[in-house]
Chains A and B, each alone.
Chain A
Amino acid sequence: MNKIFLLFRHEFIQAIKKPGYIILTLAIPVLALITIGVVDLFSTSFEPDVDEFTLIGFVDQVGIFEEYTDQGTLKLIPYQSKDIAVDALVDGEIDEVIIIPSDFITTASVQRYSLERELETPMGIRYAISSFVVWNLLKDEVPPVIIDTVLTPLEMTVTRLEEDGTVADSQINVGNIIIPGIFAFLLSMALMFGNNSLISGLGEEKESRLIEVLTSSVSVSQMLLGKVLALGAAGLFQVLLWLISAPLILNLASSTFGGSLVNIQIPPNFLFFGVIYFILGYLHFAVLAVMVGGIVSTAADGHNLSMLYIMAGYIPLWTFGAFMSFPDSPIWVALSIFPITGPVQTMLMMGVSDIPIWQICASLGVLVLSITVGQYLSIRIFRTFMLMYGKRPRIKEIFQTLKTS
C-alpha cells in the first residue's frame, strides 16, 4: 500500500481523535445551540407580565401632559410636586419618577429618578415616555397616523447600484455578512487548531526521536505530504460536520430570533469558494507549521514561533469593523491576495461585495504558489534541521539552507 496513504490514514485518525479537535468540532454547534437557548430563556423569562404594570410618577411643570397615560405595560401617574412623587417612589407605590420641567418645550429634556442601578434608561421606558410626550404635544396639531410615523424608528433600505446605474447583483446587508462572517471566524479557529496540532505532533516526534524511526522507513517528503494532507482532510471533515449541523441551528435560530434570520442570504458561489479556500488555507498553514516544526526542537518553541503568522492570519477579523465601514479600500484587496490573510479576507469580502474575477484568481494563484514553494522549502528545511535536538538554528543558517536548496 502506498506509504503516503498509510501516513495519511494514521495522521488523519490521530488528528480527529485528539481532544482539542473533538472539543472544537462539537463546541461550535453546541455553543450556537446554547446561545439560542439562552436567548430563548431570557426572552420568555423577561417577557412583561400582562397583568403587571410599571408605574411611573410624573410631575408636569409645563401643564399640558394629561392624556395618554397608558403606554402599553407602563402607566403614568401625575403628581403635584417632585417631593411627593419621590416619597411615593421611596414608599414603593411607584417604580420611578419623571420630572417634565417648565422649559421642556425648548430643551426637550426631562429628569428621571429611579431606585435601580442603570447605566442607561431601558429602551422600553425611553420609548414609552417619548410616546407619552409626543402624543400630548401633537394630539391637536397633526393626524394620529403622522404621530405614529414620527414615533416609529426610521428604517432605511439601501440598494447598491453599479456604475452604469443598474442594480448590483449582490446587495450589502447584515444578513449577507452573517454566514461569511461566521465562516471566516470558524476558518480562523480551524487554521489555528490545525497549525497547533501539526506543530505538536512534529514536536513530539522530534523530542521522542520517532522522527528518526519514521524517516528510516519513508522519505521526508512522503512523511510531510502524508501529514499535511491528513490535516487538510481533518479540517474539511470538521467543516462538513458544521455544515451538516447548520440547517438545524439556523432553523432554531430563526424561530428564536423572531424570524430575523429569514433575510440571511448566502452569497453566490460561497459554498464552492468556501470549500476551496478552506482546503487551501489549511494546506498553507500546514506547510508553514512544517517549516516551524522543522526548525524548532520542541513543540513549545514551535507554538511560540508560529504566533507570528497565526496573529497575521487574524488581521481580517481584527479589522472587520473598519472593513464594514470602508469596504472599498484597497487594503482589503491586498489582504485578500496576501496568502496568510487571503482565505479569511476573501470569505468576508464575498459577503459584502462582488469580488472581481481577477482578484479571486490572483488570491488563489498566490495561495497555490505559496503552498507549492512552501512545501518544497519545508521539506528542505525539515530534512536539514530534523536532527538538531536542543538547538535552534540561527536565521543565517536557515537562509543558507533555503539558498542552497
Chain B
Amino acid sequence: MAAVDVKNISKSYADVLAVDDLSFAVEPGEILGVIGPNGAGKSSAIKIILDFMKPDSGTVKIFNQPMNEAFKDRIGYLPEERGLYKRLTAIDLILYLASLKGMDRKIAEERANVLLERVGMFENRKKKNKEMSKGMGQLIQFVVTVVHDPDLIILDEPFTGLDPIRTASVQAIISDLREQGKSVILSTHQMNKVEELCDKVLMINKGKTVLYGDIPSSRANFRKHSVRIEAEGTWNDIPGIVETKHHNGCIELMLAPEVTSQEILDTLVGQGVIINRFEVTTPSLNEIFLTLAGADYE
C-alpha cells in the first residue's frame, strides 16, 4: 500500500498552470526526491497532498484513502519557509506541536531529547526560539517534524542554511526513517542530496513531470556512449574515439557507436598507459535535468 498515491493532479493560479498532470507514488521505506527549479510546482504539489488546497483535477490518496483529519497525526511536514513561536523555548514548542499530533507528553519528551541530541541541539532545548540562529531554528523545526514518529514525512528544502555537520546529522536521521519503513518526500533543488539519499526521483519543470523513476535506472537511461579516465602517459590515435573533452583533471572520450568501452580500455593498456580511473560516463541528475529541461529551464 502506497503511503502517497497521486494521480494526474493539476492546479492553476489565475492564468498560471502551477501543476500540470502530475502522477507519482511513495511506498513505505522509500524516499522520493522531488526536484526542480524554484517555481517548478514542487511546493504546490506538496500543499495539495496535505490538503491545504484542492487540485483542479486528479486525485490524491494518503494511506490508500483520500486525506482526512485522522491521517494528520501520521504525517510530519517541514515547510519550505520556516518560523517558530519566538517566545517559547525549543522544548516547549516541540512538546506543544507534538501534543497536537496526539502524542503523549512524556513519550514526546523522551523522543525529543534523543532527536535533539542527534542534531546537536540538546544543550539549547531550554533556549527561547527568538535567541536562536536561523540554522538552530531549522533544526528545531526538523525535530518538530519527526518527533511524533510519523509514517509519512514531507520535507521541503530541509538542508537550506545548515552547516555540513548538521546536514550530515539530518541526512542520517532521514536514512534511519527509511530503514524504519517510513515514507519520505524530500523536495529540494539540491540535486546532489537527492542522489545521495533518495530511492526515486520526480523531476518537475513548469509543473510537468520531466523524469520519474528509481535513480539508478534513470541515470542508466541517460548514460552517454563515452568513458571518463584519469591516466598517466600519452597515447596515439585510437580508432573509435570521435571526440576528447577535458574536465577538471579527467578526460572524457566520446566513442563511436560501433566501439565498446572495453575495447578502448584494452587499447589504452596495450599502449602502456597507466590507468588511475576508468568509468563509463553516467550523467548526474543535474546534467539529466539540464538535458531534459533544455531551453525551457529557468
Q: Which residues does A use to contact B, with CB under 8 Å?
A: 1, 3, 6-7, 10, 14, 17, 204-205, 207-210, 212-219, 386-387
Alpha-carbon separation in the docked complex, A8 to B2 (Å): 35
- Interchain CA distance A360-B15 in the complex, whole Å: 50
Residue of B47, B53, B99, B144 touching A213 (CB-CB under 8 A): B144
Quick one: closest B residue to A208, CB to CB? B83
* Contacts known (A213-B77, A213-B144, A387-B47); A208 close to B84, Cβ less than 8 A: yes
Q: Would A387 and B53 count as touching, CB distance under 8 A?
A: yes
- Interchain Cβ contacts under 8 Å between A and B, 22 examples: A3-B100, A3-B102, A6-B96, A6-B100, A10-B96, A14-B87, A17-B87, A209-B79, A209-B80, A209-B81, A210-B84, A210-B85, A212-B79, A213-B77, A215-B50, A216-B50, A217-B101, A218-B72, A219-B69, A386-B52, A387-B47, A387-B53
Whether A214 contacts B100 by the Cβ 8 Å rule is: yes
CA distance A204 to B130 in the complex (A): 13
Report how far A355 CA is from B285 CA in the complex, Å.
76
Q: Which of B50-67 contact A (CB under 8 A)?
A: 50, 52-53
Measured in the bound complex, the distance between the Cα atoms of B101 and A227 in whole Å is 17
A207 touches B52 (CB 8 A): no
Give the residue name and chain of the A residue nearest to B101 (CB): A217
Chain A residues whose C-beta falls within 8 Å of the C-beta of B87 in the assembled complex: 14, 17
> In the docked arrangement, what's the CA distance between A31 and B128, Å?
33
Task: Out of A205, A216, A386, name the residue touching B75 (CB < 8 Å).
Answer: A216
B81 touching A213, Cβ below 8 Å: no
B132 at the interface (CB under 8 A from A): no
Selected contact of A1 from candidates B77, B80, B84, B99, CB within 8 Å: B99
User: With A207-B83, A208-B83, A219-B69 as given contacts, are A213 and B52 in contact (CB-CB < 8 Å)?
Assistant: no
Q: Chain B contacts of A386 at CB under 8 A?
A: 52
List CB contacts (< 8 Å) of B98-146 with chain A. 99-102, 141, 144
Report the interface size for chain B: residues with CB under 8 A from the other chain. 26
**Least distance between B153 CB and chain A CB atoms (Å):** 11
CB proximity of A296 to chain B, nearest CB, Å: 17
Q: Is there an interface contact between B100 and A7, defined as CB atoms closer than 8 Å?
A: yes
Q: Is the CB of B79 within 8 A of A213?
A: yes
Q: Which applies to chain A's interface (DSSP): helix, strand, loop or mixed?
A: helix
Q: Is B97 an interface residue (CB 8 A)?
A: yes
Q: How far is the CA of A207 from the CA of B85 in the complex (A)?
A: 11
Rounded to whole Å, the gap between the CB of A285 and the closest CB of chain B is 23
A236-B194 Cα distance, complex, nearest whole Å? 53
Determine if A209 and B52 form an interchain contact, defined as CB atoms under 8 angstroms apart. no
Nearest CB in chain A to that of B47: its residue: A387
Q: Could you say which of A14, A204, A212, A218 contacts B100, with CB atoms under 8 Å apart?
A: A218
* Distance in Å: Cβ of A218 to nearest Cβ of chain B: 6
Q: B83 to A209, Cβ gap below 8 A?
A: yes
Q: Complex formed: what's the CA distance from A147 to B86 in Å?
A: 73
- Interface residue B277 (Cβ < 8 Å from any Cβ of A): no
Within the complex, the shortest CB–CB distance from A301 to chain B, in Å, comes to: 17
> Considering residues A6, A209, A386, A387, which has the most beta carbons from chain B within 10 angstroms of its beta carbon?
A209
In the complex, what residues of A have CB within 8 A of residue B96's CB?
A: 6, 10
The reply to whether B52 and A210 contact each other, CB–CB distance below 8 Å, is: no
Q: Which residues of A contact B53 (CB under 8 A)?
A: 387
Q: Is B82 interfacial (CB 8 A cutoff)?
A: yes
The CA-CA distance from A3 to B80 in the complex, in Å, is 25
CA distance A3 to B100 in the complex (A): 6
B3 to chain A, nearest CB (A): 15
> Which residues in chain B, 22-63, are within 8 Å of chain A measured between CB atoms?
47, 50, 52-53
Residues of B contacting A214 with CB < 8 Å? 100
Would A215 and B52 count as touching, CB distance under 8 A? yes
Chain A residue at minimal CB-CB distance from B98: A217
Q: Which A residues touch B84, using CB under 8 A?
A: 208, 210
A214, B96: Cα distance in complex, Å: 11
In the docked arrangement, what's the CA distance between A17 and B128, Å? 15
Q: Which of B77, B81, B86 contacts A216 (CB 8 A)?
A: B77
Distance of A290 Cα from B73 Cα, bound (Å): 25
Instruction: Closest A residue to B81 by CB, please name it.
Output: A209
Contact across chains for A209 and B100 when beta carbons are under 8 A apart:
no
> What chain A residues lie within 8 Å of B102 (beta carbons)?
3
Say how far A12's CB is from chain B's closest CB, in angstroms: 13
Cross-chain contact B82 with A217 (CB below 8 angstroms): no
Pick from B72, B73, B82, B99: contact of A208, CB below 8 A.
B82
A3 to B99, CA, bound (A): 8
CA distance A14 to B93 in the complex (A): 12
Closest to A387 in B: B52
Chain B residue with minimal CB distance to A10?
B96
B285 to chain A, nearest CB (A): 27
Q: How far is the CA of A217 from the CA of B75 in the complex (A)?
A: 8
- Specify which chain B residues have a CB less than 8 angstroms from the CB of A217 in the assembled complex: 72-73, 97, 100-101
- Write out the residue numbers on chain B whose beta carbons fall within 8 Å of the beta carbon of A10: 96
Q: Closest chain B residue to A210 by CB distance?
A: B83
Task: Give the residue among A10, A213, A218 with the most B Cβ atoms within 10 A.
Answer: A213
B8: shortest Cβ distance to chain A, in Å? 22
Residues of A within 8 A of B52 (CB): 212, 215-216, 386-387
A282 to B66, CA, bound (A): 37
Name the residue of chain B whose CB is nearest to the CB of A3. Answer: B100
Q: Which residues of B contact A14 (CB under 8 A)?
A: 85, 87
C-alpha spacing A204/B79, complex, angstroms: 15
Give the chain A neighbours of B144 by CB distance below 8 A. Answer: 213
CA distance A205 to B87 in the complex (A): 13
Q: Which residues does chain A contribute within 8 Å of B73, judged by CB atoms?
A: 217
Known: A209-B81, A217-B100. 16 other contacts (CB 8 A): A3-B102, A6-B100, A204-B85, A208-B81, A209-B83, A210-B85, A212-B47, A212-B77, A213-B97, A213-B141, A216-B52, A216-B77, A217-B72, A218-B100, A219-B69, A387-B53
Most chain B C-beta atoms within 10 Å of own C-beta, residue among A209, A212, A215: A212
Tell me the smallest distance from the CB of B140 to a CB of chain A, in Å.
Answer: 12
- B75 CB contacts on chain A under 8 angstroms: 216
The CA-CA distance from A204 to B86 in the complex, in Å, is 9
> What CA separation (Å) do A207 and B82 show in the bound complex?
9
Contacts of B99 in A (CB 8 A): 1, 6
